[in-house]
Structure formats: C-alpha cells, structure tokens
Amino acid sequence: MTVVIKFENVHKTLGPTRVLEGFSFQAEKGKIMCLVGPSGCGKTTILQLLAGLELPDAGQITGTEGLKVSYVFQEPRLLLWKTVAGNMDFVLRDAISPARRQELIAKYLSLMGLYEYRDSYPKALSGGMKQRLALCRALAFPHDLLLLDEPLKSLDMPLRLGLVRQLTNMWRENPCTMVFVTHDIMEALLLGHRVVVLSARPATLLDTVDLNLPFEQRNIGREPLPSHYERMLSLLEAESMKSLPYL
Amino acid sequence: MTVVIKFENVHKTLGPTRVLEGFSFQAEKGKIMCLVGPSGCGKTTILQLLAGLELPDAGQITGTEGLKVSYVFQEPRLLLWKTVAGNMDFVLRDAISPARRQELIAKYLSLMGLYEYRDSYPKALSGGMKQRLALCRALAFPHDLLLLDEPLKSLDMPLRLGLVRQLTNMWRENPCTMVFVTHDIMEALLLGHRVVVLSARPATLLDTVDLNLPFEQRNIGREPLPSHYERMLSLLEAESMKSLPYL
Amino acid sequence: YSGDKTPASGTPEKIVVQAPLAPPTAPLFKMAGEVLPDGTPLEIIFYKSVEEATTRVVKGEADFSVLPVNVAAKLYNKGVDISLANVSTWGILYLVSLESDVREWTDLRGEELYVGARGSTPDVLTQYFLSRSGLKDGEAHLTYLDSPEIARMMINGLVKNAVLPEPMLTQVLMNHKEARVIRDFYSDWQQYEGDSTALPQAGMVVLNQFARNYPGTISEFHRAYAGALDWTVANPAEAAPLVEASASIPAPVFVQSMERTRLRFVPGSKARADVDVYLSRLLDFSPEMVGGKLPDEKFYLSD
Amino acid sequence: MKNSISLTRGLLPLFGLAAFIAFWQLISGFYSHVVVPSPAEVAQTLWTLAAGGELWEQSRHSILRGLLGFCLAVAAGTPLGLLIGLNPVAASLLRPLVVVLQVTPLISWLLLAMIWIGFSRVPVFVVFVTTVPLIVINTYQGVKSIDRQLLQVAQIYRISKPRVIREIYLPQVAPYLLAGVSNALGVTWKAVAMAEFLSVQQGIGAGMAVARINLETAALFAWTLFLIGLGLVTDRLLACVTHHKLKHWM
Amino acid sequence: MKNSISLTRGLLPLFGLAAFIAFWQLISGFYSHVVVPSPAEVAQTLWTLAAGGELWEQSRHSILRGLLGFCLAVAAGTPLGLLIGLNPVAASLLRPLVVVLQVTPLISWLLLAMIWIGFSRVPVFVVFVTTVPLIVINTYQGVKSIDRQLLQVAQIYRISKPRVIREIYLPQVAPYLLAGVSNALGVTWKAVAMAEFLSVQQGIGAGMAVARINLETAALFAWTLFLIGLGLVTDRLLACVTHHKLKHWM
Ligand SMILES: Nc1ncnc2c1ncn2[C@@H]1O[C@H](COP(=O)(O)OP(=O)(O)OP(=O)(O)O)[C@@H](O)[C@H]1O
Ligand SMILES: Nc1ncnc2c1ncn2[C@@H]1O[C@H](COP(=O)(O)OP(=O)(O)OP(=O)(O)O)[C@@H](O)[C@H]1O
Ligand SMILES: [Mg+2]
Ligand SMILES: [Mg+2]
C-alpha cells in the first residue's frame, strides 16, 4: 500500500492561467500537512486536484485512489434552502444510520456553538457561523482524507485556537490524512506534522518543515516555532515583493 | 458639526435573533476605529447600521448623515458579469471623470497585484484575489466613511501587513473615518486609533483602548501592543468559553 | 338629403365583395377577372370566419358580403344597416352515411351523427328533420365538429354518419367507396314545408349606404353576378380551372360537387317568401339564430 | 400606517378595474353591440348564465380538463427539462421535440389527437401540448443556471444522483419552474377553451362556440370574463402557495 | 476523440429524425392519406410549394409578422416585467392585465383586434398578446430571484437606478429572460399561423386554412413541417447568440 500522496510533475492550466508547472510534492498518509503560500499561488487548485474535482493536464497524482474525502471549501457553500441541521443531514444521510446521525449532528453543532441555530436557514447566520457550519459538515462526514481550505477564516482568535486543538484531538482519535491550507503561519506550525511554504505562481516548494514536537508541547512562544515563523514570514515577504512591489 | 458617530441605546432584532440590545458607542470622526469580537456577536450588523443598509428598531444613530460611504462587505460581492476592471469602473463611473477613472483603476489594481487580471472575470480569480478586488473597489471610491468587514481575510501575512501599512498611508493623505472589523487583534492594534472589544451577543463594550502611538512606531513586539493583545485575547477567550464551552 | 357626401348617381371607385371559400363563391371567380360594364373594378376577399365577415360588415369595409341567410337576418335584427340583396345558394347540405342500413332519418336512432358547428344552420336543420321524422331529443347522438375534420374522419371510416355541405361531400364520396348520400336537405325541406318553398341557405347582403349611393351600380353588379352564376352552373367544367386557381379546390371535385350544389340567383325582394318560412322555422327552434325575430320588409333590398 | 398602505394597495386594482370598465363603457358607445357589448350587458349575460346553472355546468368540465392537462404537463415537463439540462444526448434528441410541441398549430394536431386520444380527451391533450414546453424550457434554463460549486459539494460527499437532483437541482430550479408554472397555469384556461371550441360538446369553449355562431358577443365576452376570473384566482392561489414554500430561504 | 464524440452528437438528432420518419411511414399505412399522408407525399407537396414560389411568397409575410410581434413583445415585456418586479403598485395594477393577456382566448381577441388594429395587423397583435406574458412573467420571476447583496453594493456606491437596472438586474434576469424568449420564439410561429388561419389572406396560416377546407392534409402537414423548420432554425440561432453572450461569466 502506498503511504504517501504524491504529485509528480503536475501541470495545470485554468483558462489562460498556468497555475502549476511541473509541480511535485508529497504528503505522508495519516499525517497533517499544512500549506502556506501567497494569495493566488495555486493552493486551492492543489486541493481541487487532490479531491479529484479537477484533473491534471499532465503529470500524475497518486495515492488518493479510493480515499473518502471531506473538503472544507474556501467558500462556505451551504445549501440555502436547508436549515443548519438540514445541511448536516444532507451530507450524512447516505453515510450514517439515522439514529447515530441525529446524535452526531447534535454533537458537532454543539461543539461549534451552532446547536441553538439548528433550525435557522443559512441566510440568518453570520459569516463566521457559516464558516463553522461548513467545517462541521466536513468533520462529521466519515473521511480518510480531510482537505481544509482556510477553514478558520472569519473566526475569532480563541475560537481558532480552540479549533486547532480540536483538530489535533480528532486526528489523535482517527489519524486521517489532512491537507490544511492557511494564511496564518502560526496556525500551520501549531497543527502540522509538515508545513510547506509555496512560492508565487507557478507554485514551487520554498520551504518544507517537519515538526516532531507533540501537539500539547507546541506553543506560540516555544522554539522552534518562533524561528520557523520568522523564516517563513520572510520567505513569503520576498515572494510578495515580487508580485506586489507597491505595497 | 458633529465630530462623532454615535450609537445611542440601539436595539436591533434580525429574524428571531436580538442582535443589539441597548447598544451604545461612539467613534470619533476622522479616526480609525477597530472592532474585535467573537463570531456572531453583531459586528456586521453594526456596520450595516452605520452604512444605513439596516435601520435600528429603537435608539438613535447620529453623525452618519450625508457621509459618503465605502464598504468592504464580509463577502466579496463582485459582479460576475463584469471583468476586474469592469467591477472597478462600475462603482466609479458616476463619481469620477473618465480620464481620471482609467488612471485610478490602473493605480489601485496595480497596487493590489491585480493589474494583469484586469480583463479576467471574477470566476477566474482565487479567493484572496476576489477579496483584494473588493478592497480595491472600496478604496478607489471617494469616501468620508470607510467600513471594512474583515477586509484582509484570505490574504497572506505579508500582504496583510503591507495593506495595513497602505491603509495608514491612505488615511494620512485623506483622514476619513474608518470602522474596521477584524478577528486579528494585532491587526486592530497596528491600525486603530481606538480598538473596541465586543462581548458575545447581545454586544456590549468589553474593552476600549485609545492608542496614541504613531503608526510608524507601532510594532508587533513593542509595548503597549503586546499587553493590550494579551488582555484582549483573554477577554475574548472568556467570552468564547460562555458560548462554546466544548472547545 | 341623406347626409352622404357622394352624389347618388356616381360610380364607386371599386366594389368590395367578401365571400367564404365555398361553392357560392364560384361565380365571383369569373367576375374577378373582369370589370363591370361601367368600368368599376371588383375586389374579392375570402373570409375565414364569421367574425371576420361580420366585422367587415359592421366596419363598412365590404360592400357586398356572401353570408348564411340567418346570419344576415341576425345582423339586420341587431341593428346593422344592411339589406339582403340576393339569395344564391339553395341547399348544399346532405346527410351522408357509410352504413348500408341507414336510409332514413329514423335509422339514426341510437347512432352517432356528426354535424358542423353547434348552433349553426346545419345543426338546426338536422334537429328539425330529426324531430319531424319522429325522433325524440337525444335519440340520435349529435356530435359537433367542423366540417373539414368531419370529412377527413369520415374518409378514414372513423365517422359513420354525418351532415356535410358541398364540396366536402364530394371529397368524401370520392375518397370512400361506401359513402352514400342518404338525404338531400333541400328535398327534405320541400317534403315538410311544401313543394313551393325552397331552402335559402346563403345570399349576399349589401351595405344600405352603398345601395343608396350607387343604385345603378347595384343593378349592374347584380346583372353581372347573375350572368356569372348561370354560366358557372351551365359550364362547371369551364369554371373549374378558375376555381382551382383561386381557391385550390381540385377541378374534378368542383365539377362533381356542382351536381349537388344548387346555385340560383334570386333578388332579395323575390326571395322573401322562402326566407320567411326558413327563418320562422329557425326562430321556432332557437330564436338566437335569427336575432330574436323575423326581419321586416326593409331587410329585403328593393329593386 | 402599514395597514393603511396595504389597504391602498389592495384597493388599487379596484381603481384599475373601475377605470377599465369606464373605458369599456365609452368604447361600447361607438360600436354596434354585436361588436362591443356594454359592460352592463355582459354582466347581465354572465348573471343569466350563472343563475341558469349553465356556467357551472360547462365550466366544471373545462376546469377538470384544464387542471388534468396542466398537472400532467408539470409532472412530465419537470423531469423532461431536468433530463435535457443534464444529459447532452437527451438534449439533442428531445429539444427538437419540444420545438415541435411549441410550434405545431392546434389545427394540425386536431385530427391526430382525436383519432389517437379520443374525442373527449382532446382538450386535456391540447393543454398538455401547449403548456409542457413552458415547463420544459424553464426547467432546462434553471438547470443551466445552477451553482456549480454546490455540485462539487455533492460530488465530494458522494450524494447519489437522485438526491442531487432532488436536493440541489430542484431547489435552484424552483424559481425558474415557478415562472414556467405561472405561465402554464395562465395558458391552461385559454388552451382548454380553444380545444373545446374546436372539438367538444361541453365546456366553456363549447359555450363560446355557440355564442360565436349566434353573434352573441355579450355571451362571448361573459365567458371570456369568466375565464379571466378563473385565471386570476389560480394565479393568486399559485402565488400564495409558492410564497409560503420559498419565503424561508429566498 | 473529442471530434468523434461531437460528430456522434451531431448525428444523433438525425437518427432521431430517421426513427420518427419511419414511425410516421408506418402510421400512414394505417390511415387514409386524407388523415395521415405519407412522409413522401408531404415532402413532395412541400417541394411543390417551394418550387412554385408559394412557400416563400406566403412565409415571407408570416415571418415578418412573427418577428415584428415577437420583437414588440420582448421590447415591451422586459421593461414591464422589471416594473412589476420592482414596483408593488405597478404589480398590483399590471399583474391582472398579464393574466388577462394569458387567459383570453384568441377568438375573443379576434373581434376586438380586427376592429381596432385592422385585419392585416391581427397576426402581429396575436403574436404580441401570446408572447408578452411569457416575457413579463419570466422577467418578473428573475427580478424576484435577484441577489440582494449586490443591491446593497449598488446602494452604497450610489449607482443610479437606471444603471442598477441595466447592470445589476438585467444580467441576473438574463437567464430567466432567455427562458421566456426561447418560449416566446417557439410560440411565435404557432401564433402567427393561427391568426392568419382565422383572419388573413396571405401567410402560412392562410395557406393552411385553404388546405384544410380542401382536405389537402398533405399540404397542411407540409406547412406544419415548414413551421417546425422555422422553429428549429430560430431556436438554434437564439441558442448560439445567447451562448456567445453569456459564456464568459456563467
Ligand atoms: N438576516 C438575518 N436573520 C436573522 N438573524 C440574523 C441575520 N443576520 C444575522 N443574524 C444573526 O445576528 C447575529 C449577529 O450577526 P452578525 O453577522 O452581525 O455577526 P458578526 O459579528 O458579523 O459575526 P462574524 O464575525 O461571524 O461575521 C448572529 O447571531 C446571526 O445569527
Ligand atoms: N476557473 C479559473 N479560471 C481561470 N483561472 C483561474 C481559475 N481558478 C483559479 N484561477 C487562477 O489560478 C491561480 C491560482 O488560483 P487558486 O485559487 O488555486 O489560488 P490560491 O492559492 O487558492 O489563492 P488564495 O489564497 O487567494 O485563495 C490564480 O492566479 C487564479 O487567477
Ligand atoms: Mg484559495
Ligand atoms: Mg460578520
């Protein structure tokens, strides 16, 4: 059995834009992989390729065959005509038995502070609440591969930290493969077994860090996180300077 | 002439949800005011009231009369049937003469690294690029009051820092009133003349800090920012604990 | 002074005649190519529906209109300023059947009989004959449909008994071997109403204003029309190409249909007796058909 | 305040109606009543028809036929529109068929319909044929305008095709379908009257046919008025039902 | 690969057509040619009509009338639909009017139309009256389904009402309008033929009326076939034009 998910020399053009050109990388299965990179570099495209929603123009993606995927998209993508609970039920219906489904829905909604809104429609939710519901949906759905595209955006700081902790706990119970895209380097360092910094388009790997520190020992102030943080930030800054010289 | 924008005992119910109950606060005109608060506490609602897009059920909002408003909504809200440049042109057409308009559009698009995408339609933009376009549009439009609802989300760290700097520069040139909603406390402390921490719904003022430090002297590591940061984070944490005890 | 601006002795610029695409129109095809002796050109309009015809009459856009006699009476009784100039068509309705055991009206007891539009002359006459021959209401099942559809269904054997006018009848006879004419409405009429009465089905109405203004033209027109009509009756084979060209009625169909089409020119004033009998029967049956009463003598254009 | 506004709004159509009747009265003065009967005359005819029971007797048939044809059209048109929208092969085969239904005049259908479907069912057939393209084309356009992002959600969470159609497509197609249904319901009453007019003994159309032959324009108008009333009532009913259904999320 | 797929797809309707013709041939065996003429007979009649110039002579009138009525309906229906969608007062006054247009049978219009509009313009009027509700109702439904968030954007940036209508409403109403236009264009050819059938000397409908009276079913079918061809061509044209317009952003 393959133990890695692998991009080999992947090319992908979207419309007129060559997003990936000979992009190669690999993510160990059963580990958390965090992707950081400048806006527009192709992170979402990588997730779409991993999910099989897009196909590479050339090159190979291996190791994703037969995996059950959950995906938090960059937008909440809720069903406006279903209530909060209905949106959960929608994805779980075919996957989980009715009795357990109710329980699971209640559990995840409570976890995210959405239980009292279970009968509201998405239009009555704030931006952060929509985001939480999207996350809920992905977490509750049984998965081997969890793709997260900025899942913690629009959430306040304590909530983000709490959710990072929650994700590590969940991973401990069920060590699935996660690919986590974020713009917050610290978040990546707190969560990832491996953190990858991507260059501007066409994406290449600028930096790859493997962190062996157990989750409970990771702390914003504790080495080696701050030094990784500094290095990564300056790498990203250099990238930014190339495409956005005026800022 | 009033020199403040004032909420006096404002009540606002959305659907079944009582978002604001006797909410009062004031923002000095020509200053930058940052709002931080737990997800779903009513920040967006406050901006909508300021913009006049919603009316209070009770209480008074004064000082916004006759102000020209620009608003970065929590969602990008782009016109899908117009190109990047077309979206800019759409808001500027009636406000600015044609010659100057082209120039202004080019200037702001270059600033945000979107100039090469000027003829692309929004569906070909990444999440962060959409967000930048929305910000572009608001900044280019002539305004007295600038409302920003998480304008820097989905952007990478250097970009965010660059844009914070850019916003302070712009404010120096044209000291308009800004109300800036963010979930990043540090962002708020780097940018605001006043930073307000809101409680969970119904929103009340948990903390109000006036910062007299000039922008160029503000630095993530420099006091009093870190101590404000710590205090505000723990206030928010306490709020979070109330509504999200399971995290 | 009548208030009309045109002097009473002049000639009109043209004469507009409207007529349905049916046998009574045939003589007009001959006239269409010619002009009246006094040089007045003739314009013929084919109308497709009764509304169209009545609208033209009401708006005064057609000087002469070929109409069913009862429709003419109806218009007159409803106050439209017209009179009956002539009657030209005397019975073009027949009872047709595909079944060999149908010979009489009474044989239709319990049978389905297809009749053109409900409330129209064919319908009323059919009901009249049925009741005169002793059938009670509903003993023959009347079903209504427009004649072309009845004819087509009959050709396909889907309709067994029908009342059809010419030239549909000829079409049916030519296309279905079993189709036979059972009754001729004209003879039945004479059987019940007496040999001296005829069945006046269609004629021409003229706008009274036109009649007042151009009395000379009317007689010119009548003379020409009567001539053309007699010629058509006498020489159907020669008229057929004209009809085929103008109305697309196949020549053989036309020639054969003329055998059962009774065209005879009778001026309005001379037709009153027959028309009165006819209309009073209709009046008994359903007053709406003639506009509620028998028209008075002003209905008939005096010579 | 609010009440008085909604009251005015409720009264507005009445003012409109009054203006219309006044205009009609004026017009009817210019023409023979064979062409334009006066409002009073038409109202009286309508009353006579209603009092004599004929109105109900005839319209009962028409309403049943109309509703049957309409329901069949919705029941068949919605899946057909979905199919055409979802499956390019079905589209290239069935789209021409929809055009045939749209374009073929009643008179060309008439005989075939009578032979194949039988006399009494012709109005149902005609209603079906007239309204089904409305449903199909609107449904199709709704499918084309669907949010592709949600389809990706369904793909990721392995939602079965029938559920995707029911829970992703249909709700988004709903406003399009609604426009189609609204159109179809209006056209239903016209179509049923026309079909009866041409082919059947009873029903509103048959009543109109008799009125026409007898040049009883007042009766023709009275029947038309009744049809319009029917149309207005069903239009309102539809608006209420759908408002109730969609108000939550739109 | 791609080419061969699109080729197969292009050929599919042809197979469908072939199957249909075979079926028709079969059916025509069972009935007299007065009821169901054979395909060959109809084709020959169509050819005769075309060769004799009558086809072009008659259809010229119909096409002009149809297009005129259709264009008028789009030109009037779109603003009317917008108005009804945007203004509740206009809605309560004009919605009943739309129902009147939908529901009133041709035969009731005919009388009035012939008086007021004159015979030769009746087909244009009939096309207009038949298609305008399709445009209005679809536009209205499009306006109802608009994205309110973008209206807030327009409000903030003080976009003038006409520009909001042109640049926010219209693009979002476009797919609804498209469904309406697609429906209207199909119905146009039927409506013009029906109107000509009942009231006018020249045109396809007039040709059909003559064919019907003379029991020339083959000619009736030939005209119908021509109408269907007309419908298919305009349907394709519309699809091409709109695809070209909307492909960028949808
Ligand atoms: N249209 C609406 N109908 C009903 N309730 C609403 C509506 N909009 C917002 N709410 C409720 O009002 C509350 C405040 O919403 P608001 O969008 O102002 O929050 P917020 O502070 O902006 O949150 P976030 O940071 O997540 O964007 C939430 O509880 C939300 O559920
Ligand atoms: N549908 C599309 N058509 C054309 N170009 C596209 C399309 N989607 C994305 N792109 C282009 O591909 C590039 C990468 O997009 P992608 O969404 O993967 O970026 P990203 O790394 O996720 O950025 P962000 O952090 O801003 O979300 C961008 O330059 C974008 O303009
Ligand atoms: Mg992205
Ligand atoms: Mg918000």
Whichever domain contains D122, its CATH number is: 1.10.3720.10
Residue B50, phi then psi, degrees to nearest 5: -60, -40
Q: Cβ(B38) to ligand 1 under 6 A?
A: no
Q: Cβ(B136) to ligand 1 under 6 A?
A: no
Q: Using CA atoms, how far apart are residues A50 and A47, in angstroms rounded to an integer?
A: 5
* CA distances (Å), origin A227, targets A164, A190, A213, B223: 20, 13, 14, 21
Which residues 6+ apart lie within 8 Å of D172 measured at CB? D142, D145, D146, D147, D150
> pTM for the full model?
0.91
Q: Using CA atoms, how far apart are residues C112 and D120, in angstroms rounded to an integer?
A: 14
Please determine, for residue A50, whether its predicted confidence score (pLDDT) is greater than 90: yes
Q: In this complex, do B240 and A38 lie within 8 Å of one another by their Cβ atoms?
A: no
Give how far D215 is from chain C: nearest CA, Å. 8
Neighbours of C1 (CB within 10 A): 3
The total number of structural domains that make up chain E? 1
> Which pair of tokens denotes residue B19?
């978002």
A111, A166 Cβ separation under 8 angstroms: yes
| Residue type, position E32, single letter | S
Which has the higher per-residue pLDDT, B43 or D13? B43
Neighbours of B207 (CB within 10 A): 15
Q: What is the DSSP letter of C297?
A: G
Please determine, for residue E173, whether its predicted confidence score (pLDDT) is greater than 90: yes
**Chosen from B70, B80, B92 to mutate, greatest number of chain E CBs within 10 A:** B80
Task: Please report which helix (H) or strand (E) contains residue B12, including its range.
Answer: strand B4-14
Average pLDDT of the segment spanning E46-59 = 88
Using left for φ > 0, alpha for ψ between -120 and 50, and beta otherwise, residue A202 falls in beta
By the CB < 8 Å criterion, does E93 face chain D?
yes
Summarised one tens digit per residue, pLDDT across range E102-134 is 888 888 887 778 777 777 888 999 999 999 999
Q: To 5 degrees, how large is the angle CA B146–CA B149–CA B151?
A: 90
Please determine, for residue E233, whether its predicted confidence score (pLDDT) is greater than 50: yes
Please determine, for residue E170, whether its predicted confidence score (pLDDT) is greater than 90: yes
D77, D83 Cβ separation under 8 angstroms: no
Q: Report ipTM for this prediction.
A: 0.90
Give how far E44 is from chain C: nearest CA, Å. 17
For residue D166, the CA-to-ligand 1 centroid distance in Å is 29
**Chosen from E147, E150, E157, E244 to mutate, greatest number of chain B CBs within 10 A:** E157
Q: Cβ(A127) to ligand 1 under 6 A?
A: yes
**Residue carrying structure tokens 């009756």:** C233
Q: Using CA atoms, how far apart are residues C101 and C284, in angstroms rounded to an integer?
A: 32
Most confident of A104-118, C58-72, E207-221: A104-118
In a domain, E2, yes or no: no
Q: In this complex, do C48 and E115 lie within 8 Å of one another by their Cβ atoms?
A: no
* Atom 6 of ligand 2, residue of closest alpha carbon: B124
Contacts of C50 in chain E (CB under 8 A): none
Contacts of D150 in chain A (CB under 8 A): 77, 79
Q: In this complex, do B240 and A75 lie within 8 Å of one another by their Cβ atoms?
A: no
Which atom in ligand 1 lies closest to the alpha carbon of residue B41? 21
Separate counts of helices (H) and strands (E) for chain D: 11, 0
**Residue carrying structure tokens 């002796």:** C37
Chain E residues within 8 Å of chain C (Cβ atoms): 31-32, 34-35, 107, 110-111, 114-115, 119, 197-201, 206, 209-217
**Along the 303 residues of chain C, how does pLDDT read in single tens digits?**
333 444 445 677 788 889 888 777 888 887 776 666 667 788 888 887 777 888 888 888 888 999 988 888 888 888 888 889 889 888 889 999 988 888 888 888 888 889 887 777 888 888 888 888 888 887 888 888 888 888 888 888 888 899 998 888 888 888 888 888 988 888 888 888 887 788 888 899 998 888 888 888 888 888 888 888 888 888 888 888 888 887 778 888 888 888 888 888 888 888 888 888 888 888 888 888 888 888 888 888 876
What is the pairing mode between strands B177-181 and B58-62?
unpaired
For residue A127, the CA-to-ligand 4 centroid distance in Å is 5
Which residues in E7-75 belong to E strands, given as ranges?
none
Q: To 5 degrees, how large is the angle CA E181–CA E184–CA E190?
A: 155
Summarised one tens digit per residue, pLDDT across range E54-97 is 888 888 989 999 999 999 999 999 999 999 999 988 888 888 88
Q: Cβ(B129) to ligand 2 under 6 A?
A: yes
Q: Compute CA D178 distance to the chain's CA centroid, rounded to the nearest angstrom.
A: 12
Q: Is B202 exposed, middle or buried (0-12, 13-18, 19+ CB in 10 A)?
A: middle
Q: In this complex, do B53 and E152 lie within 8 Å of one another by their Cβ atoms?
A: yes
Write down the pLDDT at residue C35.
67
Q: In this complex, do A80 and D249 lie within 8 Å of one another by their Cβ atoms?
A: yes
> Which pair of tokens denotes residue A63?
């190791």
* CA distances (Å), origin C141, targets B91, C126, C148: 74, 12, 20
> Which pair of tokens denotes residue C189?
């009429």
Write down the pLDDT at residue B5.
94
Using left for φ > 0, alpha for ψ between -120 and 50, and beta otherwise, residue A40 falls in left
Give how far D198 is from chain C: nearest CA, Å. 7
DSSP D125-184: HHHHHHHHHHHHHHHHHHHHT--HHHHHHHHHTT--HHHHIIIIIHHHHHHHHHHHHHHH
Residue C113, phi then psi, degrees to nearest 5: -125, 125
If pLDDT is split at 50, 70 and 90, which confidence band does E2 have?
very low
Closest to A33 in 3D by CA, of A9, A63, A12, A59: A63
Nearest to D156 among A51, A79, A82 (CB): A51
Which atom in ligand 1 lies closest to the alpha carbon of residue B46? 18
In a domain, E214, yes or no: yes
Q: Using CA atoms, how far apart are residues C301 and E17, in angstroms rounded to an integer?
A: 60
By the CB < 8 Å criterion, does C289 face chain D?
yes
- Please tell me whether residue B199 adopts helix, strand or coil conformation: coil
Summarised one tens digit per residue, pLDDT across range D64-77 is 999 999 999 999 99
Top mutation candidate among B10, B20, B45, B179 for ligand 1, by most atoms within 8 Å of CB:
B45
Separate counts of helices (H) and strands (E) for chain C: 12, 11
Write down the pLDDT at residue A150.
94
Q: Cβ(B202) to ligand 1 under 6 A?
A: no
Alpha helices (H) in chain A, listed in sequence order: 43-51, 84-92, 98-111, 127-140, 157-173, 185-191, 225-243
Going across the sheet that includes B17-28, the strands are B17-28, B4-14, B58-62
Q: Which residues of B112-126 are buried (b: 16+ CB within 10 A; e: fewer)?
A: bbbbebbebbbebbb
Please determine, for residue D85, whether its predicted confidence score (pLDDT) is greater than 80: yes
Nearest to A94 among D150, D159, D249 (CB): D159
Please determine, for residue E209, whether its predicted confidence score (pLDDT) is greater than 90: no
By the CB < 8 Å criterion, does E16 face chain D?
yes
Contacts of C119 in chain D (CB under 8 A): 209-210, 213-214
Q: What is the mean pLDDT of chain E?
A: 87
> Which pair of tokens denotes residue B92?
């500027």
Top mutation candidate among A126, A152, A157 for ligand 1, by most atoms within 8 Å of CB:
A126
If pLDDT is split at 50, 70 and 90, which confidence band does E167 have?
very high
Write down the pLDDT at residue C106.
85
Q: Using CA atoms, how far apart are residues A103 and E152, in angstroms rounded to an integer?
A: 39
Indicate the class that CATH gives domain B3-68+144-243: alpha beta
For residue C196, the CA-to-ligand 1 centroid distance in Å is 95
For residue B126, the CA-to-ligand 3 centroid distance in Å is 5
Q: Is chain B adjacent to chain C, meaning 3+ CB pairs within 8 angstroms?
A: no
If pLDDT is split at 50, 70 and 90, which confidence band does D1 have?
very low
Summarised one tens digit per residue, pLDDT across range B20-79 is 999 999 999 999 999 999 999 999 999 999 999 999 999 999 999 989 999 999 999 999
Count the alpha carbons within 13 Å of E76 in the hemisphere toward its beta carbon. 18
Write down the pLDDT at residue C91.
82
Write down the pLDDT at residue D10.
66
Considering chain A, what percentage of its residues have pLDDT values greater than 90? 83
Give how far A47 is from chain B: nearest CA, Å. 13
Q: What's the start-to-end Cα distance of chain D, in Å?
A: 26
Structural domain of E88: 38-246
Per-domain residue ranges for chain A? 3-68+144-243, 79-142
Give how far E35 is from chain C: nearest CA, Å. 6
A141, A65 Cβ separation under 8 angstroms: no
**Residue carrying structure tokens 């007529």:** C19
Q: In this complex, do B156 and A44 lie within 8 Å of one another by their Cβ atoms?
A: no
Which residues 6+ apart lie within 8 Å of B164 measured at CB? B152, B187, B190, B191
If pLDDT is split at 50, 70 and 90, which confidence band does E1 have?
very low
**Along the 247 residues of chain B, how does pLDDT read in single tens digits?**
568 999 999 999 998 899 999 999 999 999 999 999 999 999 999 999 999 999 999 999 999 998 999 999 999 999 999 999 999 999 999 999 998 999 999 999 999 999 999 999 999 999 999 999 999 999 999 999 999 999 999 999 999 999 999 999 999 999 999 999 999 999 999 999 999 999 998 889 999 999 988 988 888 888 888 899 999 999 999 988 887 777 7
Summarised one tens digit per residue, pLDDT across range C242-252 is 888 877 788 88
Top mutation candidate among B17, B39, B49, B236 for ligand 1, by most atoms within 8 Å of CB:
B17
Q: Cβ(A121) to ligand 1 under 6 A?
A: no
Q: Cβ(B199) to ligand 1 under 6 A?
A: no
Write down the pLDDT at residue A71.
97
Q: Using CA atoms, how far apart are residues E227 and E194, in angstroms rounded to an integer?
A: 11
Contacts of A139 in chain B (CB under 8 A): none
Residue A134, phi then psi, degrees to nearest 5: -60, -40
Contacts of A153 in chain B (CB under 8 A): 153-154
Which atom in ligand 2 lies closest to the alpha carbon of residue A17? 5
Which atom in ligand 2 lies closest to the alpha carbon of residue B125? 31
Alpha helices (H) in chain C, listed in sequence order: 26-32, 50-59, 69-77, 121-132, 147-155, 168-175, 185-193, 208-213, 215-234, 236-247, 251-258, 272-285
In a domain, E151, yes or no: yes
Contacts of C117 in chain D (CB under 8 A): 209, 213
For residue B75, the CA-to-ligand 3 centroid distance in Å is 14
Q: In this complex, do B90 and E249 lie within 8 Å of one another by their Cβ atoms?
A: no
| Residue type, position A117, single letter | Y
